[in-house]
Amino acid sequence: MEPLVNTVRSYPWGSTTALPRFVGAEPDGRPQAELWMGAHPAAPSQVRRGAGLRPLDAVIAADPAAELGEAALRRFGARLPFLLKVLAAGAPLSLQVHPDLAQAAVGFRVENAAGIPLDAPHRSYRDDNHKPEMVVALGAFEGLCGFRPPPECAALLAALDVPALAPYCRTLRTEPEESALRTVFSAFLEPPAELVAAVADAVARGARQEGPHRADLALYDAVARAYPGDAGLLAALMLRTVRLAPGEGLFLGAGVPHAYVRGLAVEIMAASDNVLRCGLTAKHKDRAELLRVVRFAAPPVRVLTPSAQGPEEVYPAPVDDFRLSRVRVAAGGPAVALDATAPQILLCTRGEARLNGAGGALTLRPGSSAYAPAGEEVTVSGDGEVYRATVDTGQPCPRKHPGT
């Protein structure tokens, strides 16, 4: 078990204060968006091995069986299959979706065959993996997730009182769900600039007026103000608003359009860079591929709360790339023993946590984290809160891409 030295990623949407406040540092004026913990090659954490620090991906590559354990190695190969982050959104992130395993495999193969460099800005698939993710709020957290049912979407659009939206309202009210969502969403990807401007003005008015949609329109208004003139505003209006209280979570599977708007959260995801964007960004947008990947359905959004499993509180996720749980310890209380079946990263989010393992002992405070390889049991004591990221190794068979 070793403390991690992690990288802070600076993106324009990041908060200038939330991450520094979280870790107890002085802001430097830069937007600090994400604190990465893991072995992703774009910004791997570092651990002290031997005389100095080494990137965690290199440590795992040198002895994957020892670091990952046989079960994780069989199922995911010689890599850590998840990436853990602290996300600090001061402005909305891009409106995006992620592919499933089969879509990622095909898209990666097609772009490779076309000779598109992996680092090309117009590339959509950086790898052949899916990118399910989960976010758990550390404070008030707001976002957009999944489609509104077509009648609700029509009611919201009609309340804006923009005449040019009337045909889309009729489509949403009269066509079957999948067809209605696909038709309107497709049209909203490339709307005329004058429609975007009229809708932004109407959203701003609605956010200031009493009415049943005022709270939601206030969130959409934040999106419009962050990205003036961006066509993504219209697509965003089709998505449900989600507000999480501290400790509540959200799982985002393949094909679900979403955008985080503001707040501080723990985020965990499969280790992939595959993102298809449709707005609220200057980055590459692949309209045809996006429409192939988006799932045009409007199931309810399920806000997650953890359930007790022994000494942990586990957040349910229908994937095996990661397992996220919360461990809370109190001064004078018993130490919590964590199993050693897979590699794990432990992140302190509140108070102080003392970790003991075969590699020694260390103390974590908010924003600090530690890595333990498979086979090393860790106990947690102290007075604080720790989020634990590991791998679900419950299935006996290696994981494969569907259809391969």
Domain ranges of the chain: 2-143+244-287, 148-238, 307-390
Backbone angles phi and psi of 377, in degrees to 5: -75, 140
Find the catalytic residue in 262, 277, 328, 388: 277
How confident is the model at residue 392, as a pLDDT?
86
Instruction: Return d(Cα 185, Cα 296) in angstroms, integer.
Output: 9
Question: Do 307-390 and 2-143+244-287 have the same topology in CATH?
Answer: yes
How confident is the model at residue 153, as a pLDDT?
98
Residue 111 in contact with residue 123, Cβ under 8 Å? Answer: yes
At the second CATH level, the architecture of 307-390 is Sandwich (2.60)
How confident is the model at residue 323, as a pLDDT?
97
- Is 287 a known active-site residue? no
Q: Say how far residue 282 (Cα) sits from the centre of its chain.
A: 19
| CA nearest to 136, candidates 240, 255, 268 | 268
pLDDT in 10s for each residue of the chain, 404 residues: 999 999 999 999 999 999 999 999 999 999 999 999 999 999 999 998 877 899 999 999 999 999 999 999 999 999 999 999 999 999 999 999 999 999 999 999 999 999 999 999 999 999 999 999 999 999 999 999 999 999 999 999 999 999 999 999 999 999 999 999 999 999 999 999 999 999 999 999 999 999 999 999 999 999 999 999 999 999 999 999 999 999 999 999 999 999 999 999 999 999 999 999 999 999 999 999 999 999 999 999 999 999 999 999 999 999 999 999 999 999 999 999 998 899 999 999 999 999 999 878 999 999 999 999 999 999 999 999 999 999 987 643 333 333 32
CATH of 2-143+244-287, one of 3.30.9.90, 3.40.50.150, 3.40.50.300, 2.60.120.10: 2.60.120.10
How confident is the model at residue 228, as a pLDDT?
97
How confident is the model at residue 404, as a pLDDT?
28
Residue 83 in contact with residue 257, Cβ under 8 Å? Answer: no
